[in-house]
Amino acid sequence: MTKGRIRARVRRSNLYTFSCLRPNVQESAQSGSLPQGPGFSRIVQCNQPILHRKRPFRYPYNHISTTKYNVITYLPKALFEQFRRAANIYFLLAAILSLTPISPFSAVSMIAPLSIVVGLTMAKEAIEDWNRFIQDRKVNRRKVSVHNEGGVFSYKAWQDIRVGDVVKVEKDQFFPADLLLLSSSYEDGICYVETMNLDGETNLKVKRALEVTLPLDDDSTFKHFSGIIKCEDPNPSLYTFVGNLEYESQMHPLDPSQILLRDSKLRNTPYVYGVVIFTGHDTKVMQNSTLCPSKRSTVERKMDHIIYILFSVLILISVISSLGFAVKTTYATPDQWYLLPLDSRNKLYNPTRPMLSGLFHLVTALILYGYLIPISLYVSLEFVKFLQANFINRDIYLYDEESGTCAEARTSNLNEELGMVDTILSDKTGTLTCNQMDFLKCSIAGTAYGTRRNEVEIAAANQMAMDLEDQNSDASSFHRMENSNRSADTSEIELETVITTKDGKDYNTAIKGFSFEDNRLMNGSWLHEPNLEQIVLFFRILSVCHTAIPELNEDSGAVTFEAESPDEGAFLVAAREFGFEFCKRTQSSVIVHERYPSYGQPIEREYKILNLLDFTSKRKRMSVIVRDEDGQILLLCKGADSIIFDRLAKDGTVYLDATTRHLNEYGDAGLRTLTLAYKKIEESEYNAWNDEFQKAKSSIGGNREAMLERVSDMMEKDLILVGATAVEDKLQDGVPQCIDKLAQAGLKIWVLTGDKMETAINIGFSCSLLRQGMKQICISTMNVEAGSQDSKKAVKQNILMQISNACQLVKLEKDPNAASALIIDGKALAYVLEEDLKHQFLKLAVDCASVICCRVSPKQKALVTRLVKEGTGKTTLAIGDGANDVGMIQAADIGVGISGAEGTQAVMASDFSIAQFRFLERLLLVHGHWCYKRIAQMICYFFYKNITFGLTLFYFEAFAGFSGQSVYDDWYSLSFNVILTSLPVISLGVFEQDVSSDFPALYQQGPKNLFFDWRRIFGWMSNGLYSSLIIFFLNIIIFYDQAYRAGGQTADMAVVGTVMFTSIIWTVNIQIALTMSHFTWIQHVLVFGSIITWYFFLFLYGSLPPTISGYAHQLLVECLAPSPIYWATTLLVTVACTFPYLAHISFQRSFHPLDHHIIQEIKYYKKDVEDEFMWSRERSKARQRTKIGFTARVEATMRQLRARLQKKQSNVAFQSPTFRP
């Protein structure tokens, strides 16, 4: 080892043919020009960061922020957020008007409630944003080694890095900014980068430094380093880069293979050196992010419209009141001398200017009737949402034991929105999958190996068996007995994870990357299999055809593999378990230890590497040409079946039919497949081909890659098929179950991934978004002919034609069980997101059962999310775990971040965070459903009680000649919302629940907005209007001229107001008790305790001196409590007010029950225990008919099995001879 450089290791650029080509200096000079003008003006002085702090550069620091506010913007932005609410604007105006002498209430009584409401809400926003700031600070304070001066490196925080700094990034660290790779720990400047945070891909990318910067291989070499980078300006394109490096008086062109992007991770490389090009919000990952939006729930936005309606009602009755007052001033005031109507200074009661008096009274009325607008609603909502969020945070069922992570409601503003989601847009890698590949099955020489059963096969077989039992049983008792022995019932398919072997023994995976089980191959049993030569060749291809490098863990002695992709690592683990262990790689050879049961020690075999034709997304295959110990030259190849099958020799297709059948089965099961083949090469043939290959490899010019591809094709033909592999892209625990429940709840699921189309399709099968028989509509630009690819118009026309044909296909489908899946790649998506195509695309996507978008950039994820949100007008939820998901998380109505291993960017930008995708089911179907229903009922009830209370003020003013006099004591009015009715409504919003999550179809009550539609809102308003009329007129009629005390005294205004207020308290509290479905001791205490509190309040308030209590002094003790008419009136009014609602819900539950009414009744009468068959039937009904998800996939498999069974029975019946006597 010299200068810290690893020289004993492989010169890795020799392993790559296509991805690690370096142009020489002459070619660099020819192609090093940079476009001039806007977009290409960035200049970076390498190793001189101080220059970029001055003009004309002034590049930003590396500090990032995802918060909504800062010290300067907090006050104006937070105030703007608060006064976006219509009610707050009204109360601000009322507070201002309360400073005038025409206000019926004191200024303090109007300003204090508004200040408390706004202040508490702003404080909550500040706390939530402070939490975001803390997480931002953790990222900004990460440390990285930065060059100071004189070849000395020291650790600095990320936020202190400047453009031009030279940084040293070590293995498994994230890159702190966008860097130009100068050199690595390997002598040829190769490094491996994981870009999962950017594009979601799990395979490692190979990056390479310019050859001219390779000598910068140690800290001391940067002492006098300098250079100038001229490149493109900051932009969001992750896959392009244009620039050049001026170094040692020569110009060297730069391309994306030399750029290390922020938030990608250095893997399998001890360290790299790089110079900072873009920092902070100029980096490409931040360019793909969007500003943190201010989100408001659908319910809250609709609540504003209700406020507008009530405000209109308020203005209407205020105008009526002011007109009435003006008429009274004109005709009645001259006779009322005590009002001083002739005093010129009296403007309120001036009969000569009635319009002015009416205008003043309008202001008085607007303030007096202000109780129609419930200002306390916002405080109560904030408090309820805070408690709901606390329940989410403390839910033990949302706790992940493996990581020790709880769910977190990062904002409580959107709790109810969780119950209204229509479409889920999900990332794949790290969200649905756990970034682990497991070798599961294989096909060798036409024989399928691997007996682990797929979950779909297990569930379908169990269901078929139960159906057959049901058909063959003469009595239902046997059927029910069988149901009782099973945890699942016949009408419901439950997903089980069962792993069995052929001999019936359970098998649990103990080796990472290897879930294979088959006694025919394990423990050397493959020696007794037919086609032994093909089996050995299969294992050798797995252990030799790769670019991985083994790493020995000195502590444990275990060997791990540094592979470019998880698939390759899984192949090597599988080969090792079969007895073919790849143990060493040199510059020109691969060494494999082959273990045979008959030998005590493994046999070491060395394969000389002659050429390696590496994998690219275009080639879809990789090959290695080796010379074995016998001198035989072999080409070993693995790749996509569509590519390999086209290159088979005539005598190489012996196992083609059987292998094709196995591949189809593996694909239907959602497994990732590769085909293995080989070819023996004569020495002369190889020498002739190698001469051509070396010429192409060393050629200079733009057609070098095409020449290499042509020469490679010459060798990669006439192959002999050996077999195929099937690996499982390991889903996170519970993903299929979760998707199945979400689909049964009627939710649509889109997958947006940076992976290639084949990978995304495999995952679609794994998580049951795709299934057998589903029509796959693939839209891409690859179908365009070569001659028209350069024309944007032709490409768009072709894509439009694909969309139109697909729409027609979906429209003409008559089979009710048929389903279509839309799959589109990133290039085509760039066109369909344009204004003239996006609506056609969205129409097609909405008609499809599932949608998968492949190769999408973070920006495209955000654009797709925005298109779905705005185009459908329904609530969207985006879920992801990496920085590449931040855009769509912020663009969606609700953003959910998964707190996985890919950093915290997604969590910081999210509204809710969970540890794994499976927790989304409970977050939506339980917390979301309950929060929506609670908030909706709470708001409707709030408007009901305020209308009930507020309109009685209007009735009394009209009854009292529009005098502006309130019938209630001021303290009654102030305590109505704050003390006497606040706690029951909070208990409704926090504890109310209808049924459990076993009934996913009930979730559709949220997206359909059944509990907060205009019909229900106006119904509650009408109920409030009816109650106010009953309360006022019944009390007036009873107490108008009726003696209420034994001494014959009639009621005055204080008595009538107190009796009316008592009736209101009883009515609204009994009403909320009738509304609740779920009672605990808490609800009983709060509801009936509020009624009792009113009497305590009236007693204590009346016990105060008359100077404080006024007309309420000893009112309860001396006047009302001894009077039977007081108690009788309260009972009569309460019954009259609540009877219509009681009759309505009784009629509804008896004749037109909702789904949850039926389930509640079954639960109440314990029919779920007494009659399991009925309970199972009802549970089955409480599911949306769906075409995706595990249940739909099992049903499709069952239909196929039944069809095969019927066909087989028909054939048997047809072939059986007819017997005649």
Active-site residue set: 427
Q: Tell how far CA 544 is from the center of its chain.
A: 40
Buried b (16+ CB within 10 A) or exposed e, 120-151: ebbebbeebbeebbebbeebbeeebbbbeeee
The label of the residue with tokens 């001659």 reads 787
Angstrom distances, CA of residue 222 to CA of 163, 171, 254, 274, 761: 16, 20, 20, 11, 47
Instruction: Tell me the pairing of strands 875-880 and 421-426.
Output: parallel
Angle CA 96–99–103, to nearest 5:
100
611 bridge partner residues: 625
Is the distance from CB of 905 to CB of 899 less than 8 angstroms? no
Rg (CA), the chain: 38
Residue labelled with tokens 């191959």: 521
Cα–Cα distance for residue pair 764/851, rounded to 1 Å: 9
Q: What is the C-alpha separation between 158 and 727, in angstroms, rounded?
A: 39
Bridge partner list, 1046: none
Asked whether the beta carbons of 743 and 1192 are under 8 A apart, the reply is yes
Number of separate helices (H) and strands (E) present in the chain: 38, 33
3-class DSSP assignment, residue 638: strand
Task: Tell me if 925 sits within 8 A of 745, measured CB to CB.
Answer: yes
Instruction: Of 979, 1112, 1128, 955, give the one whose Cα is nearest residue 1030.
Output: 955
Judging by beta carbons within 10 Å of its beta carbon (0-12, 13-18, 19+), is residue 176 exposed, middle or buried? Answer: buried
Q: Spell out the residues 6+ positions from residue 538 whose beta carbon is closer than 8 angstroms to its own.
A: 442, 444, 445, 676, 722, 723
Is 199 in contact with 93 (CB distance < 8 Å)? no
Q: Which helix (H) or strand (E) holds 551?
A: strand 549-552
Number of other CB atoms surrounding residue 346 within 10 Å: 13
| Nearest alpha carbon to residue 888 among 859, 931, 930 | 859
CA distance 385 to 415: 7
Contact present, 1022 and 942 (Cβ < 8 Å)? no
Q: Which residue has the tokens 């990222």?
A: 139
Residue type, 595: R
Rounded to an integer, what distance in angstroms lies between the CA atom of residue 1015 and that of residue 1023? 12
C-alpha distances in Å from residue 345, one per residue of 186, 350, 882: 95, 9, 71
- Supply φ then ψ for residue 1019, to 5 degrees: -65, -45
Q: Is 1055 helix (H, G, I), strand (E, B) or coil?
A: helix
Helices (H), 700-734: 704-715
Q: Give the start-end residues of each E strand in 185-297.
A: 190-194, 205-208, 227-231, 243-247, 250-254, 259-260, 265-267, 271-278
Tokens of 101: 């002498």
